C-alpha cells in the first residue's frame, strides 16, 4: 500500500521556494498568541539532527518552535495550534517520519490548512516513494 504524505497535485512548492524566508528579529510583545517563523515537524528517531537544525536556525535569528519537551494536554490540539501559528513548517523526512501516525497527521493537517511547508531529508538513505 502506497502512503502519500503530501498529495502529488500539491502546488505550493514552487511558490514557496521562490520567496525568501525572512526571520522575525524578536517575538512581538502583545496579548496575541506567540507566532513562529518556522515549526520543525520530525520523528523522535531523528531528534538529534532536528534539534541541531533548531539551534542553527535560532542562532540565525529565526523564531522556531520544536517539541523539545513532552507536551501536555491534547497533543493533537497542541500540534494543530502550533502549525496554525507558524509561517512555515519544516518537515524532516525519514523512513520513521513516513511510518509515524503522528507525523502523518501533522503532514496532513499542514496540507489541509494550506500552510507553507519545506520537506528536508534527514536520513541519508531515505528515498521518498509517495
Give the three cell numbers for residue 53. 537544525
Residue 129: pLDDT band with limits 50, 70, 90: confident
> Which of 28 and 130 is assigned the larger pLDDT?
130
Give the three cell numbers for residue 26. 524578536
> Which of 71 and 79 is assigned the larger pLDDT?
79
Residue 15 has pLDDT above 60, yes or no: no
CA distance 26 to 121: 28
Predicted confidence at residue 128, as pLDDT, reads 83
Nearest CA to 24 out of 75, 78, 73, 61 is that of 61
Give me the phi and psi of 55, to 5 degrees please. -60, -45
Residue 130 has pLDDT above 60, yes or no: yes
Mean pLDDT of 63-76: 74
Question: Can you list the domains of the chain with their CATH numbers?
Answer: 40-121 (3.40.50.10140)
Contact in structure between 10 and 130 (CB atoms under 8 Å): no
pLDDT digits (tens, 9 = 90+) for 72-116: 557 778 889 999 999 999 999 999 999 999 899 999 999 999 999
The Cβ of residue 66 has, within 10 Å, a number of other Cβ atoms equal to: 22
Amino acid at each position: 500500500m502506497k502512503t502519500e504524505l503530501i498529495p502529488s497535485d500539491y502546488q505550493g512548492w514552487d511558490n514557496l521556494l521562490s520567496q525568501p524566508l525572512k526571520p522575525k528579529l524578536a517575538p512581538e510583545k502583545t496579548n496575541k498568541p506567540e507566532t513562529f517563523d518556522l515549526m520543525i515537524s520530525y520523528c523522535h528517531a531523528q531528534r538529534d539532527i532536528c534539534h541541531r537544525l533548531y539551534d542553527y536556525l535560532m542562532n540565525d535569528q529565526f523564531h522556531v518552535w520544536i517539541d523539545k519537551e513532552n507536551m501536555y494536554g491534547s497533543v493533537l490540539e497542541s500540534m494543530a495550534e502550533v502549525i496554525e501559528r507558524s509561517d512555515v513548517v519544516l518537515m524532516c523526512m525519514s523512513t520513521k517520519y513516513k511510518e509515524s501516525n503522528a507525523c502523518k497527521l501533522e503532514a496532513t493537517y499542514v496540507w489541509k490548512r494550506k500552510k507553507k511547508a519545506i520537506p528536508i531529508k534527514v536520513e541519508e538513505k531515505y528515498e521518498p516513494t509517495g
